[in-house]
Every structure is written in C-alpha cells, then in structure tokens.
Structure 1
Amino acid sequence: MSCFFVTSSGSMTCDLTLHSNGRVASDVTLIFTSTQKVFSCTALFHPLAELYVTARRKDRMEGTETWSQPVFVRVQQAVKVPQPELFVQNFTADSVVVFWRSSREGSCRLRHRVHHVQTWSKSPDLVPVEDNQLLVHTFRDLLPFTTYKAAVSCKKKHSAVWSSWSSEVSVTTLCRAPSRPPEVCFQVEGPDGGGSLHLHLMWKGLDLQEAGGRVLGYQVTYEPKEGQRLQDRLARNVTEPTAHLVVGEGNYNVTVAAFNTAGYGPAAELSINTQTPDLPAVRRLWVSSYFPAAEGLLVQWESTAGAPPRSPPVSHFLIQWRPETPPSTSRWATVDSDTTSTALKDLDPDVSYLLSVVSVSGQQCGRPQTLPVSLKQGALMEVVNLRPTDVTKTQVTVSWEWQRKSQPIRVNGYKVMLNRNSDTVGVASLYPDQSQHTFLSLRPNTEYSLLLLADNDSQITSVRTDFDTIPVVATATPMLLFAVIMFILCILSRTVYKSYFFPLISSPRGSTAAQWLMDPKQQKFAEGKILDIKNFQVTDNSITVLGSKSLQTRLAEDRTEDAPLLSPSHLIVKLSAFGLGPRPECETDGLRTEDRHWESTVTSHQLLHDLLADRSSVHHMTCEADYLLNASCAGKSEAETAAGQTDSSYLMCDPHYISAASLQQLQMKMSA
C-alpha cells in the first residue's frame, strides 16, 4: 500500500493490492491515525501532517477481519504532482526526440518500448526539472523503421511520490540503407529436357538492425565470366529471399543486394561453376510439439551421411520458418554441422508455418526439406494408404503416401512394424522424404501382420510371403521325368503295334501311274495312252520287253558288250523273243534311231527266273505312254489278231500293279 497527497483537491489517495485467496466478497476500510492532536476532520490532511495509514479487510461470508501493517506518511513528502504531457519533437533512423513541461520543481523519469513488446525500457538517469520548465530528451540506439511508444512521469522535490505516467506517444524511426550483404548460397539442378540448367539462389534475411529498416526487396544480377559484355548482364528484383534462374553450362558471377527506402546495401558476390557437385539435402526431417507443456517446436533431422565423395563437407544448417498465409516475414536460425536438432520458440499458437532445413557448405546449399508445422500439432503431415507392393519368398516391400493432416491430431512420429504371430520381425520409422521400405530375411509361405503406428494408435494389414520354389521343383522333377518316359514309350508302342497288326498297304490312288493318268495336261493324248484291260491278258504267244536306252537290267547271258542298256523304269516283254513267234516290226517316224528298242533273245525260263529272283526290280518297273501302240502302227503290227483286236504282245507295267501272284500265273502259263 502507498499513499499520496493531491494538492489540487486537498485529498489523500492510497493504492493497495489485495490477495483474495479465492474470496472476493470483502470490504476494505482505511484508518488514518495522526501523530498530532486532531481538532477537525477537515484539517486532518495539511502539508505538515504526519499520519499512519492502516487497511482493514472484512470477509462478508465468514465475517473475519484482516489488518495490514501501518504505513507512515508525511503529507509534505507525499505530494503527487499533476500528470505531465509528452510530445515528439524529431526522429531519425536510430533516435527519437521528445519534450514536455514540468509543473513543480523536482525530477522526471522516462521510458520507451517497441510497440508489440510489453516490457518497458527505462532511462537510467533522472532528469532534473525546475518549476514550469520545458524539458527535451533524446532516445538513442533505436532500431530503424521501428515503431516505439514513450511516456514520462515526474515528482516534486523532497517528495517520494511520482506522478502518473503521461499518455503514451507513438513514433516510427526512419529507414537507413542495409549495413551488410545477405548470406547467399546456390544450388544447381538439371539439365532439363531442353538442356538448360536451373540455378536456385537462397539467402538468409538480414535482421532489423542490419537491414536498416524494412527491406523492400533484393536485386539479383548475373552474367557469364567468359566474354563479358554489357548486354550479357541481367538484373531482376525479387521480394522473397529466393531466386530461380535458368542458365547454361559455364561459370557465372552473381550478386545479391538488399534495398529499402533509404537505398541499396552492400552486395553479396558469388562465383558459380555449374559443374560443381551437388550438396546432398538433409533427410528424415520431423517436427514434434509438446504444447502447452513447452511453448516451442522440436525440429529433428539427419545429416547427409553417405554423401558422394566429391561432395563438399557441410559447414552448418540453416533453418527458416515463415507463416503460410501472406504477407509473411521469414525468420532464421543457424546451427553447427554436428547438430541435428534445434528448438524454435516465440511461435503463434494460431498460425501455421512453413519450416525448411537446408544444409550449407560455404556458398553452396543442398535442396531444402520443407514441412508445414504448427505450435499445437507439430508436423502437419500424416501417413495414408499403407500397403504391400512387392512380396517375394524372403522379403516384403511396403509403400505409403503422405498428405496434409485431415484432423487436428498431434502425432510425434510414425512407424511401420512387421509381426509374425506375437513376435516383432522388423520396425522402421517413417519420414516425409520416404515412400517405401523393404523387410528382408523373411520366411517363405508365412503369414505376417503389417502395423502402422502413429504414437499409440495402430492400423493392421496382413501379408503372406510367396512359396519357396526349390522344394516344389525338387519334388516335381522326378514326376515330370517319369511322365516324359511313359509318353515316349506309349508313342513307340503305338507305332510298333500298328506296324505289326495293321501293316501298310499300297494304295493305287497314290501310285505314279494313277497320278499321271489324273494329270489334266495329258488329256489331249488320252486316245493313244488309255489302255484296255484286255490288253493285259497274258497269252502263249510272246512276252516283249521294251525300254529306253537308259534301262539297266540283265535280260540274257548272250548280250554283247556294246549293246545299249535298258532303263529300269520301263520294261516290255515280247513273246517272239523266246522263239514263240515272229519278231514284229513297226515303222514309225515318231521314234528316233537312238530311242529304238533293243531286243534280246533269251529263254522264257531264264527270264522268268531272273524276274522272280529279284522282285525288287519288278516293283521298280514302270511303263511310259510313248511306247504304247498308237494308231500309226495299229495296221502294221503283228500283234493284231484276225478279229482286229490287239493281243498281249506289248505289255505296259506299273510296279504297283505287278504282284507275286501275277508273276506266278505267268510262269505257269509259260511252262505249259
């Protein structure tokens, strides 16, 4: 409790703080006790009075009373001067000048704060003032382009009571040009389908002191190193701390400079070779929330372990977060290369952010890994559609998809688990940069349970591995071999049985003579080439064998060395050759000298003996139509009978029509 005297009204005012302890229904009474004799209550508060002030509090519910300790007050020292009034005189990028007028001799104090901060900064020194004096004060070392609030309070000389704070004045400092260049890193991607490369630039924004105020944008310039010309230099202005350029292969000079209303700041210069090996991105990024126990986010990731040998070493990691809804201002944090987690604070619980983690090596950076996050839920991503996509005898590959959370549920981690009965075979944590996982060394033809774990919740999916083909093949091979052997035996047996019980019989339809007779091209010679069946009757007159000079056979022992051979394809036997009749003669111009037939005289028994002894030669005998009797020699041939019929002097033979029975019949007739 404190009390002060107001000279303008001649009254005493006390300020006190009550501890309710849950009980608010109470009455407070102030008891003033004077050290001097009081003659009138109206004369109690005068400048020379000395008083003890005691507060009594009475609870309405219980009727109990509570007394405070007495506070000694000298009215002359407890005089409270009127509230002063403060004004703004001038301001710059880092200072503000204010002024006010005092009402009493004494001293004054001042305070200021940034408009969105609740904590005040008080001036360490008091400002001495005279009665009715105009005072001027300067606030220094302020941030550029920042809104501040200020107030002043005064007290009378020899008084311990300060006046009420003046009304707050608001003022925004001016901008100044940025004082340092941004920290820029680059990443090269491509080439794309057209052969162009994509140059991505990213930089850490300047803090308020370095930026000199609100940054309006950044100027990005780039030009090739070789053959620099003025027209090759390109510049563009961007408002975000990123830039995307399409370039070709080669070396480039790139500059990035921030600017505001006060001008351009110093530029960051980069020398970029598009053939520089890529810096791998961080992996397994996840953000967890423990709100409201901890008002912050825990960001975790894994470094680029297993990077290609040519990749440069990581110097540090850059963390950026900004609100999803524009307009937004990015905030940054930097951690060392051996750190893989950090905590973010001063986040709005009702705002969702885009958080990115980037690996940096000098002026080169990896591809950013980005997640939507919020203070209440952590990472705003969830796993859906978990399923097995590839199942073999000893391994199972599962796949899943990531999507934005459909419900406001906080999950600090996802896992996939493979169980057999009640035993856990494998467990894997899931991260947004992954979409599949393979469980190895499994048992063939075994039922497994696939579980998706989201903290304490789970989803179960069944999966079975394939059969092991090695035992199946080992069992089926002997059976298949036995079946093949039996099939071969059946085919062979069928062929043997058929040839034994059903021998092949020659078909007249398939003979050479039959095919020749059915040939349409021979129809014009049909009258001279069609034989009468009566001409094939064997008589006692003669057997004449006619053949072309190509016939090779033995007809008699008395043939001469230089006699032409008969073709084995045609044979005509004449009875007169055996002395059974005169030799016929046929004069025809159609036969050439070299085609005339040679006749050999042999005995009938010797000829038949040779024919019967070598039946294979009989089966190879054929007769040509050119040797048949035609109409030109029909009247001169001695083979004609008196009745005008042709006898059997000339016999046309096909091997398919000559059989053993016919030869035996011929032998019997000739013997007779």
Structure 2
Amino acid sequence: MERIRVTGVSVFAYEDVGHHQVFPLSPVIERGSTLELFCSLGKKLYPYKNASHIIWTLNGDRIAKENYIIVNDSVSGVVIHNFTYEEAHVKCYVDFPIEKQHLARTEIKSGFPPSAPENISCIDNGGKNITCSWTFGRDTYIETDYTIIGKQGREWKKIFLNNTWKSKNGSRSHNFQTTVFYPSFCIQLKLENPLGKAESQCVSQISEEILKLGPTPVKVGKIPGMKKMLRVSWERDMDRNKCRIRYRNMKQNDSKEAYNFTEMYQQNYCDLTNLWSFTEYAVAIQCIKEGSKFWSEWSREQIGTTEEEVPSKEVDLWRVLEKCQPTGSRLVHLFWKQLKEDESLGIIKGYRIKCFTQSNHSLVCARNTTDESVTVWVMEQAYVISVIAHNAAGDSPEAVLRIPSCAEESKDYPRVVMLNASALNEQMTVEWQTSDSDIHSYVVEWYDVLEMNASERSWHYVRDATKWTFQKGAFEQYKCYNISVYPVYKDEIKAPSSIRTYFKQGRPSDGPVAEVENVDKNEATIKWKEIEKGKANGDIINYTIFYITEGGKEIGKTVNASLLQYRLKSLQANVQYTAYVMASTIAGGTKGNDVTFITNRLSLVEIVLINVFAGLLILCLLIFGLLWALKKRMLKRIFWPKIPHPKLPEMNQDNLEKPLKEPQSEENTVIPEVISILKVDENDEYQLLKLEECLGQSKVTTEDAVCQHEASGSGEHEAMKLLLQTAPSPSQHFRSQRLPDPMVQQPLLQKPEESSSEDSPNSNCKDEEKQDQTNVKEKTEFNSYLKNSVCTREFLVCKDLSVPKKKERKKETTPPCVSSGDGQQYVALDAIVLTQH
C-alpha cells in the first residue's frame, strides 16, 4: 500500500483490489478548499476495463475529464476545486457502450472549524437554573460538540448537570441546571468538530449579580370617592424591594410611547393619578433585587377603569323637517350622535327630550328614550327642542335646536353659493361660498339618495371654514349621494344648498331595456327605459344605439342622456336588423338587450296611396255598374248600336212567326234541312255533330221536322229564321259539307243532282232563287264590314216537331239567295231563314 497526500485530504491507493470503492469515504472538508477523491476498479469484475474507463459525477452532474487523475491501471482520481456545497455526493461509474455501470458513492460535507466563544454571560432564574449566552465569529455548519465546565475556587467541578450538547448551526445560548448553589464561580466553554477545536476563557460569575426575579402578580382597582385615580398593588417579599409600574390608556395606541412608568421602593402598592374619567387602563409591573443586574419580566397586564363623571359635552343634535300639512301640523325627525367615551365619562343610561314654543316658552312635549332618534309632531309655529344625556353621575349640557315656523321656512332663501364636491385620494371634499359675511358656522349633511329612512342621514358641524373633507369610509363607491350645506346664523339653521354626486363612478350594472316601435320601410324607432339609480353606478352621460344587418357592418348613433328614444333612418327595405342600446358613464358603458325587427316592403305613404287608388277604382266600378243597371238599354244603344245586314232587307216579323199549316203528301214529303246559325269557333265540330244528330232524327216518309232554335250569343236577332230546302238526306248533306269560312261567303246549300225541276216540290222556290241571285249578282262582292260582323256561329240543339199532314201547301217561302260567279247559289251566313212549306 502506498500513501498519497493531496490538498486537504490524505488517501490510500490500492495496487489491486477485488472490489471497487471510493476513498476517502464520507470526508468532511473546510468550505472553499480543494478535494481529491479516488475510485478503484475491481479487475475480477471488469477484467477488460481499466482506470481510463472510470467516469465521475457530482450531485448527478458529470465532472469534466480534465479534472481526472489516472493513478494506475485500476485506480482513477478526480480533483474538485473550491468546494462550497454544505453537503454533496460524488459517484464513480465504469463506461459501457449501452449504459454506464455504477461502481461506488461517497457523501461529502463542508464547514468551518469552531472559533473561541466571547462575551459569556449568565442569568440565575430564581436559583433553579442558569441561562448562559455567548457570541463567536461564525457558524461551523457542521456538527460541533459543546461542553461547559465550572470552577469553584481553584478546582474544576461539575457545576451543571447537562453540561454537554451538540449543535450544527452554532449554539449561542443554553439553559443549565445547577447542582449546588455557589456564591461565585467560573465557567468555561469548549467547542470541537472534525475540522478543529476552540475554547473560551474562564469567566467569573457572582450569584447575587446574575439573579433575575420572576414575574410579579399585580392587582388594579378603583379608589372609592376618588375621581381619575387607580390603585395598583402586588405581593411584597425581601427580594422585591424595588419595582416599577407601566400603564397606558386603552383608548390610545399600543406603541411604547403610550406607556407611563412609575418606580416604587419598599412598597407593595401605588396610586395612579391624573387619569381620564371612566377610562380603561392596562397596568403591568416588574421588580429587581438590590445588587442584581437584571429586572424581572413584566407581569401580565391587568385592566382597571376609573369612576364615572357627568358628561362633559352635549349631544350632537340634528333634525329633518317634513313639509307643513294643510292642517298646520308638521313632522320633525330628531337625531343625535352617541357621545364618545371621553365625552360621556360614563355609561349613558338615556336621553330626555323637551319641546317648547318659542313665543311663550310653554312645554308642549316631553319624552324619555334610550335611542338616538325620535319623531315629534309640532304645529306651524316656531319651536325650541332640547336634548339632555344622563349617566350615573349626572346630566350632560343641554343641546338646543330651533325649529322655524312654516311661514319662515317658505320665505327663507339659500345663503350658500358656489357649492362643489370632488373626490381626491379616496376622500370627498366639499367647498362652498356664502353670500352673508356674518355666517361662520355650517352644517354639512349627506345621505344616499336611494335611502328613504331619514334616520340614516349623516351630518357634521363646521365652524370658521368653507371647506371640509369627509373622513375615509363615509362614502361608498357607485352610490349617488345628496350633499347639503346649511348655514347657521345666530343659532338658527337657514335654507340649504344641495348637490348630488358620486364618490366613485363605475359602469352600469345593467344596460337599458329597449324595444322597437313604428317600423317603416326605411325607418324604425328604438325606445328604452331609464336605468334605475341603484344600477346606474354613476351619472349617465349618453346613450349609444347600435344596429346591424346580418353580415353587415355595425353602426352606432350617440344621443344625449335626456333622450329615451331615437328614430333610425336610411334603413334598407325588407331587411332584418338587430339593435341594442348602450348606456355610458365616465367609467364606461354597458349594453342592453338585443331587439330584432324587419323593415317593411312599402312605406306608410306608399300603402296609403295604393289604398286610395284602389278605393277610387272600386268606386268608379261601382258607379259604372250602377249606371249600367239603370241605363242598360240606353247604354247598349250608345255603345252597341243595332247594325242592319248590308245585303238583306228587313223582314216582317209577322211572316217569320206565321205557322205553316199546309200539309204535304206523304209520298212527296221532303225532309227540310233545319239550320240554326250559332256562334262557334272555326274548329268547333262538337256543335256541328249535335246539329247532324238533330237533322238525322227526322222521318222522311211520315212527318215533317221543324227545328226551333234561339240565337243567344249575339243578341242581334230577336226572332227565329227558318230555312227550308229540299235535300236527299240532311245527315249526309251536313257530313259532306265543310264548315264555311266566316270571312268568305261559301255555298251553304247545294242543289241536288238527282231531283228535277218538275218533280221537286220546291221548283218554284228555285226559280225565285235564280231570279233573286241574278238581281243581286253584281252586289255580292266581299264586304269588310260583313266580315267583321259575321265572325262566329252558334248552333243550338234542334227539336223534332210533329206537323199534321196536309194535302196542300198553302204557302211556300224561300230564303233570299245570292249567286256566286260560277252560278252556284249561296245564302248569307247570318241571314239564313228556314221556313216550312
């Protein structure tokens, strides 16, 4: 084994060991020195590793390799400079590719060697134990052994029982129990730790000088018949021949300057004088033995109260006057403040109130109460009211207040001008000016405007000043207060001047409640309610109306605080808007509820005009309908006159209505074609089919068919016109014929080829037709007027009429005919007349 010396530590390095360890183990060094540690690597456990593979850490942090020392193949060292940790741990590891392997660990402590104690002093606490204290330069920060020894005369003796103890941070006092009393002795203190040793000089102690008495019990009481005095007493013994008393007024603060001291010799009591009446005092006492250097501890404080006296001051009286009633009576609320303890000088047991008329000083009311307020009824004349407080010792001075008459109050005028209030540094200050230089006294009154109880009012008398600052806590934030200043002239309270203000303003607690009215096409009215005083939290300076469309930009309009509605203009028609109102104070604003409305499509003016025009139109239609009903025929002749046919002469109505009575023979009977001219459209085949069915119902051999019809569409013909024409088959004839164009004259009935002029019963009619067609041939040109007049046809259902057979035909008529250019016969479409032969 080879011994190696390093700075601050001596260690041993092993040539070859079978296990690994750190040395020195758990070293204690002086703080700030250099430390060297060594770690051995066991060859049997790690045969392929050497000292260069060892890694060092300090409190988990890796130490730089430049601080490593390679002692030999299996021992590695590390140097730590300026070690300042109070406690630390150092570990060594062997390096491996995946994870390092822990080898060993050591704990390190640092501190200082002890220094010699100085200024040793001891106190004998009543002969039972001794407390010694001392000083030295610095703490050791490591565990140090303390030992105190005593020397009586020239011999060292075990004066204390518990004379040895340990301390880490440096002990500066210790309490020892003595074994035997010695009038004088000498004590010495020794200290030792791993870094060094120290001891003090032997200090001589005299028992009489170091004796300290214990606390002395004290009593405090009144002296019967003596005002403003208290007696303090305590137990007396031979050792307590000198004492001092400490007392203080409980109404004053608890600082050391508030104490008063009195020293007493060879006594066991003391009288305290010049105290306040009916005031509590705290009293304590301490004593010292003659020849000792130490006073005893202060005794526990005892409380004493001086006797009561007559109140030294009258009550602070105030009143609130209500309006005079028509009956001449009025209600007066009286208030007064409770006297302070230094003013009441006792316990106030009650108050006496008296009311006198000012004119004859007669007593009109008297009351006793323990409250600080009372309400009395007085008449319209002036009164003088007095209030007296009383305690066990007597009555206070009389507080007098004059109540003016109703007539005086109505004629009074304010004498205070320029009243201002401002809040600075968490306090309210009121300033005013007066118009009367003889006024030097004022009463400042303030109360919450929402407080209806008159007894909650506060007031203060101000003399020889026109400015007053309220004490802290007199006002609450966000509340509105009414502040009034009453001038006092020759003990008479005159008319006040008032102002309303906030001590501190904030944003309103709630926003205005809004609603929408009178919504129009481009306008709408927003109305809102005034915010309650308790929720305004300040003076409302303005209202701002915000409104916005869906996806649009918000628009705001600000109005004066006196307005409670606003008319929004320039709005878009038939658009939904969302609006709200924000109330603002100097501290900020609070928005109210949202209201949604949709503007109208039309304005009120447009709706009125439309209704007026519609009403006028309906009125005109009613007038026209009335005229139509009254003058139908006249109007019909004016607007729709009867236009005669341009080609045919007028026919006699008697001839048209004359029945055909002449029968025909059965064998020569010919089925007449009955055609009714109706109003139909060009392609209306339905009514043509109905006509064919009507014609098909006629019997050829047995009877003649007569088709009766009525022209209901045009109203131009009043009688039925019949056309009788010989035809082989009415049904086949109409099926073979095409509906003629009403704009062009077409042949309606064509002469059948099979019949001869001799055989046909209608030969005469045909000759007449030819003659007529010849006469009018030149006049059958197309007429535009006829085209317009004959535009539609109307076919009516025909009925088969049975006509009695007759042998002879009395009369035969033929319709007027018109011949076309090719010689074929035609009949005018709107003038075909079917008659029965």
TM-score normalized by structure 2?
A: 0.39
Larger Rg: 2
Q: State TM-score, norm by structure 1.
A: 0.47
Larger RCO: Structure 1 or Structure 2 (Cα < 8 Å, ≥ 6 residues apart)? 1
